Amino acid sequence: MPELRAQIDRLDRVLVRLIAERQRYIERAAEIKETRDTVRDEARVEDVIAKVLDEAGRAGLSPAIAEPVWRLLVECSIAHEFAAFDARPKAQRSR
């Protein structure tokens, strides 16, 4: 059991680094988008989920894990992007 836990801990460290990289792209998107109403894009959300579920199927990841995890990740990412957008100087953003 200790070896299994060590491997899970190792994977968690890798996942944290990958999610941090994803967050940096989210922050960049907040810099690029011209208006706040473009932060949430429902079509993009569903596109991301569909791609994740497709990849999950190929990788052997249960959709019962993949879908809720990614939906939460996407929702947290959108909230972070809104915060990053709102933190921009007013001269750099439109409503």
Residue range of the domain that includes 68:
2-92
pLDDT at 89: 87
Residue 62 belongs to domain with CATH number? 1.20.59.10
User: For residue 85, what pLDDT band results from cuts at 50, 70 and 90?
Assistant: very high
Query: Which candidate, 53, 50, 71, places its Cα nearest to that of 63?
Result: 53
The tens digit of pLDDT for each residue in 45-76 reads 999 999 999 999 999 999 999 999 999 999 99
Give the residue-averaged pLDDT of 17-37.
96
Mean pLDDT computed over every residue of the chain: 95
Euclidean distance between CA atoms 29 and 31, whole angstroms: 5
Query: Which candidate, 80, 3, 7, 92, places its Cα nearest to that of 40?
Result: 80
At 91, list the tokens: 């001269």
Bigger pLDDT: 90 or 53? 53
Count of domains observed in the chain: 1
Residue 92 has pLDDT above 90, yes or no: no
Euclidean distance between CA atoms 2 and 5, whole angstroms: 5
Q: How many CA atoms lie within 13 A of 6 on its CB side?
A: 3
